[in-house]
Structure 1
Amino acid sequence: MPSILIVDDEAIFRRGLRKIIESSSGSWQVAGEAKDGYEALEMVENLKPDVLLTDIRMPKMDGLQLIQIAKERYPKLLVIVLSGFDEFTYLQQSLRHGVRDYLMKPVEREELFKTLGKLEAELAVKPQPTTELYTDEPADARMIRQHVSEHLVAGLLKGYVNESDLALLSRIGVTFQEPSFACMIIKLDKDTLDQERYDKADPSLFQLYIQQIVQELLDQRAKGFSFILSETEVVALVNLADRPQAGDPLFELSETIRRRMISLSRLTVTIGLGRTVGCIKQIPQSFQEAKIAQLHRLIVGGDRVISYERIKESNAELPWSSLLELPLELLESSIREGKPEQTKQYAAAFITGLCSQAKSPEVIHQQICKLLIHGYEEAEKLRITQNWLGERTIQAVLLEICSLNSRTELIDCCCGYLGKLAECTADGQRKAEQDPIDKVIRYVNQHYQEPLSLTQVAEQVYLNPAYLSTLFKQRTGTSLVEYWTDLRINDAKKRLASSNEKVTIIAESTGFGNIRHFNRVFKSVTGLAPNDYREQARSVRL
């Protein structure tokens, strides 16, 4: 009796397909149902079906990725593709992987029966014990393990994979046993590479070479996994025993990678380094921070390690108000409050003042790029980047800014982008009224300088404090108290570095109840007492 495995992320479609197949005149047996590609791979191995019937669009691992890996592992497995997306590109790709038929959703009973009849006849003409389909070892088992590992780790970076999915990684030899994680993004400095050398080689070979060097050093000096995420990016997820401060072993590992690339190949790379996080669910946060760090290449140049933690500390030490009469806080506030016209006025005044006082065009571009990167970071947190930039990337926007040398053009361009950001922020705030966590984040961002309690915040969204605390941790990977404490500490760091305010006043104005509590929390987060931090920040500037 031929068997079939159904793969679809929607339970209603799986049940419907099972019912149709079991009612057919043939002798088909539904071996099982899987909700995504990862579950399907495990079920294929355990159940050994004759046919795989899979949807194309699914979370985590899509149907095309599933087919590619399954066919590499089991070349004789028969595959049928389902899709609600009538796109020729999907048909092309699926046929390239040896798919026998392509059916559109909603599946018509007669069409499915016709396809199953053909496959049943094919299996009957060339009878093969089911186990024979699964006796062939892959041509390169290591490559297949790499495929599966890449899909799973990419899911970790984007928050699609949870701790229960790590069992599959462990089975294929990729383990994350330590409690802390950090992300690196390594990019080739293409602009410093001889163009003839680059043109003569397949660009993907450069990425493969970088990935191999990174993985070799990870194996020697740390624990982690690296892979090629895109045509321009290699990503490394590093597993750490503890959470070192910025500039500790993780930064040194990144520097070693950078130097090794130069010594072995005369290639230079820029490495964006996210902060170390303490659990699986916070990995996307470190990944996003590594992306932000990479953006600063336009400001500080390439062939270096750019640490997100150091960027934040450096920015905290830059007293914007000393550069301009107009405090930058007014511009940032107008964006946060979703006021497009006011934002444009402040942006024009900011750029006018910057152009009048800056000593070089580079300084002007750097400061504007910092402002836009900050805006991008906030847009990512609010999930409005797509509405703000459309099909453009933030990299393209920064390059556009750096190409302008007219004050009028700079003002028009920046007012356009920042005004649109404020407009999208306002839209996002209106939509956030329906999402309690978004509303809580917005409320805390506006009131963290005041005394706060879980009960007080929970009242804003009409939720039980304990339930809100649990929900917030699930959605963000951090507790609500930790979230507003980070806001307060970051504000305090800026004030300590850029003003002569008394520590007592800073403690009170950033929401801490008393100076003793402030001192204790500040030292636990930064490793320094407030006065020591102020001295260190000022010595760095000097």
Structure 2
Amino acid sequence: MKLLIVDDEPIILRGLVKVIRDSASPGSDVRSAGNAYEAIELMKTYRPDVTVTDLHMPERSGFELMKEAKEVGLCERFIVLTGHDDFEYVRQALRYGVVDYLLKPIDKIEMSVLLSKIEDLLPSDADQEGKQHAKRILSYTKANYMNDLSLDHLADLMKLHPSYISSLFKKETGDTFVNYLNAFRIKEAQSLLETHRHLSVNEIGRRVGIENKHYFNKVFKKYAGLTPGAYRDKKNDERCGG
């Protein structure tokens, strides 16, 4: 099991690392970060199974750390630590999908029981690795939909076989890579047609990654039910109350 410990007080952080190393199962990998920024950067390569974090840290709180980590798929499980026995903190923490809530100073036996329970719930290494690959692939696709994307390109970038990426895509989204990418592009094109009326249909096609105007019209009609020009006219009519 991979654990990340986050606390802005160095002495407390060292103590937490020692207690958690003693509490975790043999072979567990325990790493630490002194603030939320450092934790996010470490998560990008480390991908912890569980993050144990203080809630009250300067600049960025434990709540902000959990929110960002969950949004971009860096960590799904959290244990929060705080010296404040306050139900409001518990309520907020639970909204972020926290596994448990422990008051400082933490009890070694309590932590050991909790970590053991979490480890029993973790997916197998293969399942976990697959989910992490899928999140990276989806994140990259959404950020780069306007570029020339293909399974082969993703395979080279991610150092994975194209057929493996294809099966991951299907498992994660329920759709093929091509269908997912085209649907995402057309959704973005619809937004541009509505908000950037000065742009030509051809330019919008290029901006969402479809250079060929005939192919763009064909794909747009397949996913939106009408051509880009007709879609824009329809939205203009709706806007004018026609």
* TM-score, L = length of structure 2: 0.52
Structure 2 match to 1:56: 55
- Taking the aligned partners of 2:86 and 2:141, their CA distance within structure 1 comes to 31
2:124 to 119, 122, 127: 127
How far 1:50 sits from its partner (Å)? 1.0
Size of the alignment, in residue pairs? 139
| Cα distance per residue 1:36-62 (max 9 Å; x no partner) | 111100000021111111110001110
- Taking the aligned partners of 1:90 and 1:28, their CA distance within structure 2 comes to 32
The answer as to whether partners of 1:22 and 1:28 remain within 8 angstroms in 2 is: no
How far 1:132 sits from its partner (Å)? 3.5
How far 1:141 sits from its partner (Å)? 6.8
Structure 2 match to 1:268: none
Amino acid paired to 1:134: Q
Structure 2 match to 1:70: 69
Query: Residue 86 and residue 26 in structure 1: after superposition, are their counterparts in 2 closer, same or farther (change >3 A)?
Result: same
Compare 62-71 and 7-16 and name the one that shifted more.
7-16
Structure 1 match to 2:19: 20
Structure 1 match to 2:147: none
Percent identity over the alignment?
37
Structure 1 match to 2:207: none
How far 1:91 sits from its partner (Å)? 1.0
How far 1:68 sits from its partner (Å)? 0.5
> Is there any run of 5+ residues in structure 2 with no aligned partner, and where?
144-242
The answer as to whether partners of 1:4 and 1:52 remain within 8 angstroms in 2 is: yes
How far 1:24 sits from its partner (Å)? 2.8
How far 1:95 sits from its partner (Å)? 0.7
- Taking the aligned partners of 1:40 and 1:25, their CA distance within structure 2 comes to 20
Aligned pairs (5 A) from 1:297-316: none
- Taking the aligned partners of 1:105 and 1:93, their CA distance within structure 2 comes to 18
Instruction: Name the structure, 1 or 2, with higher relative contact order (CA <8 Å, separation 6+).
Output: 2
How far 1:131 sits from its partner (Å)? 3.4
Please state if 1:108 is matched with 2:107.
Answer: yes
| Cα distance per residue 1:207-265 (max 9 Å; x no partner) | xxxxxxxxxxxxxxxxxxxxxxxxxxxxxxxxxxxxxxxxxxxxxxxxxxxxxxxxxxx
Aligned pairs (5 A) from 1:193-208: none
The answer as to whether partners of 2:47 and 2:74 remain within 8 angstroms in 1 is: no
The answer as to whether partners of 1:79 and 1:101 remain within 8 angstroms in 2 is: yes
Amino acid paired to 1:131: E
Structure 2 match to 1:46: 45
- Taking the aligned partners of 1:28 and 1:11, their CA distance within structure 2 comes to 24
Query: Residue 133 and residue 45 in structure 1: after superposition, are their counterparts in 2 closer, same or farther (change >3 A)?
Result: farther
Amino acid paired to 1:38: Y
Please state if 1:10 is matched with 2:19.
Answer: no
How far 1:13 sits from its partner (Å)? 1.7
How far 1:75 sits from its partner (Å)? 7.0
Aligned pairs (5 A) from 1:159-238: none
* TM-score, L = length of structure 1: 0.24
Structure 1 match to 2:195: none
Query: Residue 118 and residue 38 in structure 1: after superposition, are their counterparts in 2 closer, same or farther (change >3 A)?
Result: same
How far 1:121 sits from its partner (Å)? 1.0
Query: Residue 131 and residue 83 in structure 1: after superposition, are their counterparts in 2 closer, same or farther (change >3 A)?
Result: same
Compare 12-21 and 105-114 and name the one that shifted more.
12-21
Query: Residue 71 and residue 85 in structure 1: after superposition, are their counterparts in 2 closer, same or farther (change >3 A)?
Result: same
Please state if 1:83 is matched with 2:85.
Answer: no
> Is there any run of 5+ residues in structure 1 with no aligned partner, and where?
143-542
How far 1:117 sits from its partner (Å)? 0.8
Q: Secondary structure at the match of 1:9?
A: coil
Query: Residue 47 and residue 25 in structure 1: after superposition, are their counterparts in 2 closer, same or farther (change >3 A)?
Result: closer
Please state if 1:36 is matched with 2:31.
Answer: no
- Taking the aligned partners of 1:98 and 1:48, their CA distance within structure 2 comes to 17
Compare 23-32 and 78-87 and name the one that shifted more.
23-32
- Taking the aligned partners of 1:12 and 1:39, their CA distance within structure 2 comes to 17
How far 1:87 sits from its partner (Å)? 1.5
- Taking the aligned partners of 1:120 and 1:26, their CA distance within structure 2 comes to 9
RMSD: 2.4
- Taking the aligned partners of 2:103 and 2:82, their CA distance within structure 1 comes to 5
- Taking the aligned partners of 1:115 and 1:134, their CA distance within structure 2 comes to 24
- Taking the aligned partners of 1:48 and 1:104, their CA distance within structure 2 comes to 25
- Taking the aligned partners of 2:116 and 2:124, their CA distance within structure 1 comes to 15
Please state if 1:95 is matched with 2:94.
Answer: yes
Q: Secondary structure at the match of 2:48?
A: coil
- Taking the aligned partners of 2:32 and 2:68, their CA distance within structure 1 comes to 18
Q: Secondary structure at the match of 2:23?
A: coil
